[in-house]
Chain A
Amino acid sequence: MMGDRPSPPRAMSSAPTSSPSVDKVDGFSRKSVRKAKQKRSQSSSQFRSQGKPIELTPLPLLKDVPVPEQPELFLKKLQQCCTVFDFMDTLSDLKMKEYKRSTLNELVDYVTISRGYLTEQAYPEVVKMVSHNIFRTLPPSDSNEFDPEEDEPTLEASWPHLQLVYEFFIRFLESQEFQPSIAKKYIDQKFVLQLLELFDSEDPRERDYLKTVLHRIYGKFLGLRAFIRKQINNIFLRFVYETEHFNGVAELLEILGSIINGFALPLKAEHKQFLVKVLIPLHTVRSLSLFHAQLAYCIVQFLEKDPTLTEPVIRGLLKFWPKTCSQKEVMFLGELEEILDVIEPTQFVKIQEPLFKQISRCVSSPHFQVAERALYYWNNEYIMSLIEENSSVILPIMFASLYRISKEHWNPAIVALVYNVLKAFMEMNSTLFDELTATYKSDRQREKKKEKEREELWKKLEDLELKRGLRSDGIIPT
C-alpha cells in the first residue's frame, strides 16, 4: 500500500570536529570570515515514488454525511492521509496534495468541535497517520559549519501538510473525549522516542509544535513521565559531552520548566541529580545563547522550590565560569542576578566569599560590558541589602580591585560606576572602609618604596660594572 514505509532511526552525524576552511584567530574561529555558503536544497530521506502519480479517491465531506456514518468516514480519511507526498518535487501531484491538505484541514476542525466521534478504533488510526507523516529521518545539517546563531535554518518543505498534522494531533490530545487509558496502547515509549528525535529539526515551527505535543503527552500519560525525563537526560548529556549539536534544547528546556514548576516537595533525589549533573553542565556549551533564557528559568524555578540547592548551583556556575568568552560571561552575570533576586539570606552567607571573589574579577575585566554588568548589581536593592548585612566580609574582597580600576580602567563610564559602588560601600561601613583605604595606601607606598630600592640597586650595579670596566683595561664597555 502506498505510504507504508518504515522510519529508520535518526542517523547521528559523525562529522569530524576540525574545519580547516574556517579562519581561526587565537584558536577561535572567526564568524565574520567565512566562505559564502551555497544554500543547499533540503534533502529528504523519505521514500520517493518512482514517478507514478498518486491517486486518492475523493471522499465526501464529513459535514455532508449523517452523524452515525461520520466515525467510519473519519477513519477512512485518516487512512488516506497516511499517504505522504514528495514536496521536493514541487510540480508533482499538485491536485492530490491540495486534496490532502483540505482533508487535513477538515480533520482539524472535526476533532475540535465534534462529539462522540472518538471510537476505540480511531486511536490506532490516528497514531498511524501521525507517525507516517512526521516520523522521518531528518536530513543532516550543513556539516558543522551551520551556526545556529547566525545562519538561516533550513525549513521543512512539506510544512503545508506537516503543520496540519501537528495541529490535528494536538487537538486530538486536548479533546474532551480523549482517554489516555486507551491511547497509551498506541502512544508508547517507542512513539515518544521517535518524537524526541524530531526535536533536532532545523525548522523552528516544527519544534514549536513538538514542544506542545510532548508537553501534552507528559501531562496526560503518567506512565510515560519517568521515561520521558530519562530520555531528555540522555539527549542533554549527549549534547553536552559528545556532540554539542542539538537544535531542540530550548524547547525541551521550556517543557522542563513547566515540569519543574510542578514538582512536589520535598524534591525527589532524581530531580536534584538532574539539576547538578545535567542542567549545570549545560552552561558549558558554546551555543548557550540559544537557550540560556530557558535554562536560567529552570534553574531559578529549582531554587524557588528548594532553597538549599542554592549552594551547589552557585558553586557549579562558579566552577564553569567562562574564561574566554565575554558574551557568555555577561549571560552568567545576568543569570546570577536572577538567582540572587530570590536567594535566602542564610544561603547567601554560605556562598558570599567565592561569589564576590568572582564578581571582583568581573568588575576588573577589561571587557567593559562584563565590568558594567557586574557593577550594576549595586543598583539592585535586594542585593544591596544583602551586601549591607555582610559588608564586613564583602567589602575587603571587593575593595582592592574597585580601587585599582578607579585609577586604571580605560573606560570612563566604568570609572563613574565604580564611584557609585565605592560611595555605597563608604556609607555602609565607614570605619571598615577607612581601615581598608589606609591599608591599601600603605601597601602601595611600600610597593613604591621597594620599586625605588630595586631601581637604585640596579643603578649601583651598573655603576660598579662601569668602574670595574674602566679599571681593568681602560676601555669603556659599550
Chain B
Amino acid sequence: MDAVRLMKELRVNYEQEVDFLPREAGLDLIVSAQQSGGQITARSRDVTVEDLWSLTSFFGYSTQSFVQAVSLLDRFLAMMRVQPKHLSCVSLSCLHLAARVTEEECDLTPADELIRIGQCRFTASDLGRMEKIVTEKLRFKSKAVTALTFLQLYHQITLTHATYRKETLSLEKLEAQLKACLCRIAFSKAKPSVLALALLRQEMKSLQSEDMLEISFHIQRHLKIPDAELQLWSEWVARRLSDYASPKCSKPNHRKLQWIVSRRTAQNLHSHRSVPELPTIPEGCWDESESEDSGEDVMSSGDESLCSSLGSDAEGPFFPLHLRRQYLAA
C-alpha cells in the first residue's frame, strides 16, 4: 500500500474512532466504585480482561479478537449497570462475538469449551442470551476502530518510509504492549489513535531511531493530535510498560484456579510420608564403646570422597591406631 493511500485511510479511521469510544461517565463510575459496594470495580474489570487475554492466547485467537472483545466489553460496561456476578458472562460473550467476526470458522472454539476452560459457572445458553443483549445494546455490526487499527496503519506507514527497519520495528511487540495497556481500565479513556501513537513513539525511543521518530511526528501533524494529549498518554504508557516488565508478585485478589484431578491421582497425592513406627536410632560418634572389638568394627576412613569403597571388610582397624588415639584426645 502506498503512502498516500495509507494516510487517507488513517484519516478515515481517525474520523470514525469517536463512535467507538466508551462513555466517559460510565468509565468514571467504574473507576470510582468501591470494592464493597457490590458494583464492578476497576480491579474486577482489569482481572476479567486479563482472563480474556489468557483465553485468547490459549485458544490461539489473534490479538484482533482480543482488542475487539475489550472494546465491546468497555463500551457495554460504560453503558449498562452490570452486576459483578454477571461480569464473566459478559466478558466471555464479548470474546465469543469478537472471535466470530475475526477468526476463521475452523479456528473458533465452541462455547462449551470456552466456558469449561474459563472455569465459569454459567451455561452455553446463558452465553448465547448475553451475546444477543450485547449485540443489541451496542448495535454491533462489524469491527470497531481500535488502537490496533491505528497501530497496524502506523506500522505500515513507518515501513514505507523506512523499509530497512523492517526487522527492528516489530508489530508483534507493539501488539503485546497494547495488550498490556488494555488490561488497565485507565487506557480505555484514551483515544485509540493517540494511544497507538504513544506506543509507537515509546518503542521508537527504545530503539533510539531518530528517523523513525521523525515519521511519528509526521503522523501526529497529519492527524493534528495536540502535544499535551500525546504527552500525557506517553507518560501513562511508559509507566505501565515498566510495571509490566518488572517481576510480579503474587496477586492476592485473583480468583484461585480450580485444580481438578482424577480420583486415582487424588488418592496418591495424600499418601505422603507416613510417620515411621520405628523410633530413631542416633548414630554414635567416634566412641570407644562402639569399637570395643577392633576386629568387628568398621568405621569410614574419614575422608569425604565418594570414591572410598563401600562398607569395608570387618577385618583389622580401618583407622590407624595412633591416629585414632590422637583424634579422641583432641
Contacts and interface: CB of A to CB of B under 8 A. Distances in A.
Nearest to B57: A437
Given A227-B296, A434-B179, A441-B172, 20 more contacts: A215-B281, A222-B287, A223-B296, A224-B296, A226-B298, A230-B311, A261-B281, A262-B283, A264-B285, A268-B299, A269-B308, A273-B308, A274-B310, A277-B310, A369-B262, A427-B251, A429-B247, A429-B248, A430-B245, A431-B244
B310 A419 contact: no
B308 A372 contact: no
A308 B300 CA distance: 19
29 contacts: A212-B278, A222-B289, A223-B293, A226-B296, A226-B298, A229-B311, A258-B281, A262-B283, A264-B282, A264-B284, A268-B300, A270-B310, A270-B311, A272-B306, A273-B310, A274-B310, A274-B311, A297-B274, A297-B276, A330-B268, A376-B259, A376-B269, A413-B260, A420-B257, A426-B57, A427-B248, A431-B244, A434-B173, A434-B176
Majority-rule SS of A interface residues: helix
B287 A426 contact: no
A446 to B, nearest CB: 14
Interface in B72-104: none
B304 to A, nearest CB: 5
Interface in A259-316: 259, 261-264, 266, 268-274, 276-278, 293, 296-297, 300
Contact of A222 (B173, B180, B290, B304): B290
B223 to A, nearest CB: 28
Contact of B265 (A373, A412, A419, A428): A373
A277 to B, nearest CB: 6
A257 B254 CA distance: 42
B303 interface: yes
A419 B117 contact: yes
B308 A369 contact: no
Contacts of A218: 281
Contacts of A351: none
Nearest to A430: B244
Interface residues of B, number: 67
B56 to A, nearest CB: 10
B208 interface: no
B253 interface: no
Contacts of B170: 438
A225 B284 CA distance: 10
A259 B262 contact: no
Nearest to B294: A223
Interface in B107-128: 116-117, 119
B46 to A, nearest CB: 13
B280 interface: yes
B311 A431 contact: no
A469 interface: no
Contact of B273 (A258, A338, A413): A338
Interface in A143-158: none
Given A225-B290, A416-B117, A419-B117, A262 B282 contact: yes
A58 interface: no
Interface string B260-275: 1110110011011110
Interface string A393-417: 0000000000000110000110111
Contacts of A376: 259, 261, 265, 269
Given A222-B290, A227-B296, A416 B272 contact: no
Interface of A: 189, 211-212, 215, 218-219, 222-227, 229-230, 233, 254-255, 257-259, 261-264, 266, 268-274, 276-278, 293, 296-297, 300, 330, 334, 338, 368-369, 372-373, 376, 379, 388, 406-407, 412-413, 415-417, 419-420, 422-424, 426-431, 434, 437-438, 441-442
B316 interface: no
Nearest to A373: B265
A431 B245 contact: yes
Nearest to B278: A258
Majority-rule SS of B interface residues: loop
B38 interface: no
B276 A438 contact: no
B245 to A, nearest CB: 5
Interface in B226-258: 244-245, 247-248, 250-251, 254, 257-258
Nearest to A273: B310
B16 interface: no
B297 A223 contact: yes
Interface of B: 50, 53-54, 57-58, 60, 116-117, 119, 170, 172-173, 176, 179-180, 244-245, 247-248, 250-251, 254, 257-262, 264-265, 268-269, 271-274, 276-285, 287, 289-293, 296-306, 308, 310-311, 314
Contacts of B245: 430-431
B281 A430 contact: no
B176 A422 contact: no
B310 A406 contact: no
A290 B281 CA distance: 24
Contact of A263 (B260, B283, B289, B291): B283
A441 B303 CA distance: 55
Contact of A261 (B254, B259, B280): B280
A276 B308 CA distance: 12
B272 to A, nearest CB: 7
A262 B280 contact: yes
Contact of B173 (A270, A278, A330, A438): A438
A230 to B, nearest CB: 4
Nearest to B276: A257
Contacts of B273: 293, 296-297, 300, 338
Given A273-B310, A407-B60, A368 B262 contact: yes
A241 B179 CA distance: 58
A255 B278 contact: yes
A270 B308 contact: yes
Contacts of B297: 223, 226
A223 B292 contact: yes
Contact of B281 (A259, A296, A406): A259
B283 A264 contact: yes
A439 to B, nearest CB: 9
Contact of B257 (A189, A211, A388, A423): A423
Contact of A254 (B260, B276, B310, B311): B276
A311 B137 CA distance: 61
A263 B290 CA distance: 15
Contacts of B300: 268-271
A370 to B, nearest CB: 10
A406 B58 CA distance: 7
Contact of A379 (B259, B262, B287, B303): B259
Contacts of A229: 311
Nearest to A416: B117
Contacts of A413: 260-262
Contacts of A300: 273
A272 B261 CA distance: 37
Contacts of A230: 298, 311, 314
A416 B260 contact: yes
Contacts of B54: 419, 422-423, 426
Contact of B296 (A189, A330, A373): A189
Nearest to A432: B245
Contacts of B284: 222, 225, 264
A334 B268 CA distance: 8
